[in-house]
Structure formats: structure tokens, C-alpha cells
Homo-oligomer: A and B are copies of this chain.
Amino acid sequence: MVNSAKYDRQDALAKATNLFWEKGFHATSMRNIQDAVDMRPGSIYACFGSKEGLFKEALHHYADGTLAVIRQQMQSHDSPLDALKSFVRCLITDQRQDVPSDLCMLVKTLAELTEDNAELLTEARQLIRLVEDAFAELLQQAIDAGELDADKDARRLARLIQMQVMGLRSYARANKDQAQLEQLIDDALSCLA
């Protein structure tokens, strides 16, 4: 090896992800990213190829983080159902001041982009599907453990939870009343027996 990169690729990706997560794809300029990651255009393009390429990696980085949080909740709760509920609550209510946006970056992406960026749309859809899979796995564990009625359908319930999480986070962006949000979470989670 003659020479190696001076920047930390993962660190740069993390910073770019937060910027995209906050401002969205179109409102984030490559110059914003240059400033945030302290790299010059040539290095960024050598490393990530294009704005779309960087955004695609950012989507994956974000999804990895989300799945990691789910796994972490699974480890710190004996009950799969408690893990799921804790995850949902932690998305909406917990210390959410240092987070770039109230919303899921994947849902933001689905909302913002059109078929003009078909590849990114497809990517976001696939990653959302992975999160739903994680929900389904957790719910199946709950059924197997007898925490949910055996006649419940884990996949169907996972879709319901996924939908409600999307709704809750969108709603939280419109209405900041914490008490009403807590109540809303309770109402939403009441579908879990």
C-alpha cells in the first residue's frame, strides 16, 4: 500500500447520514456535506461516487442503526412484547433532542422522493421491509412464548405495528403535546392484547 485514506469513512458516512436525515435529499447540498464531513469534493466523489450513491449508503447506515436498536431492546427485555413496546416508545417520546428528525429517515425518503429517483425509492422500501421483518420475528416470539394469543398472525400484526409507528412519528411532528402523544401510543399499542 502506497498511501492510505486520511479520513474515517464510517465517521464521514455517519455525519452525512445525520445531515440527510435532518434536511432530506433535495435540501441537502453537496457543499453542506463537504462542510459537515470536512472533505473536499474530489475526496467525497472518489469515496462515494455521487450524491445518490452517498444517500443510498446513508439509507443503509440509518437502517443498520435502527435494526441495532431493536436487537438491543430484545437483549435488555426478557419479554419480546416488552421489547417491542419499549422500542416504539423510545422512538417517539424518549430523549429526542439530539436526533436529527422526529421522523424515520426511510419514511421521510418515501415521502420526499418520486420516480425521478426510482433506485433510492426501491432501496428505502426494501429497508423498511427489513424493519417489518424484525417486528414480525419479535411478535412470533411473543406468540410462541404465550404472550399473545396463538391464533394471532405475526406478519399481519407486524404490518399493523409498522403502520402505527409511521403514523405516530408523523403525528408527533404535527402535534408536540407530550401527554396526548403518550395517550396515543397507549391507544396504538392496545392492539397488542
Q: Work out how many copies of this chain go into the complex.
A: 2
Check A163 against B188 for contact (C-beta < 8 Å). Answer: yes
Q: Is A110 in contact with chain B by the CB < 8 A criterion? A: yes
> Which residues of B have CB within 8 Å of A168?
163, 167
| Nearest Cβ on chain B to A19's Cβ, whole angstroms | 11
Check A112 against B110 for contact (C-beta < 8 Å). Answer: no
Check B171 against A166 for contact (C-beta < 8 Å). Answer: yes
| Nearest Cβ on chain B to A47's Cβ, whole angstroms | 25
Known: A125-B174, A167-B165, A174-B125. A111 touches B116 (CB 8 A): no
> Which residues of B have CB within 8 Å of A116?
23, 27
| Nearest Cβ on chain B to A29's Cβ, whole angstroms | 11
Known: A128-B174, A174-B128. A114 touches B166 (CB 8 A): no
| Nearest Cβ on chain B to A183's Cβ, whole angstroms | 7
A163 CB contact (under 8 Å) in B112, B114, B164: B164
| Nearest Cβ on chain B to A186's Cβ, whole angstroms | 10
Check B173 against A114 for contact (C-beta < 8 Å). Answer: no
> Which residues of B have CB within 8 Å of A170?
107, 110-111, 163, 166-167, 170
From A117, which residue of chain B is reached at the shortest CB distance?
Answer: B27
> Which residues of B have CB within 8 Å of A191?
187
Check B183 against A156 for contact (C-beta < 8 Å). Answer: yes
Q: Is A6 in contact with chain B by the CB < 8 A criterion? A: no
In order of increasing CB-CB distance, the 5 nearest A-B pairs are A167-B167, A26-B26, A111-B111, A166-B170, A163-B167
In the complex, 10 of the A-B residue pairs with CB atoms within 8 angstroms, ordered by the A residue number, are A107-B170, A107-B174, A110-B170, A111-B111, A111-B112, A112-B112, A125-B175, A159-B183, A163-B171, A164-B164
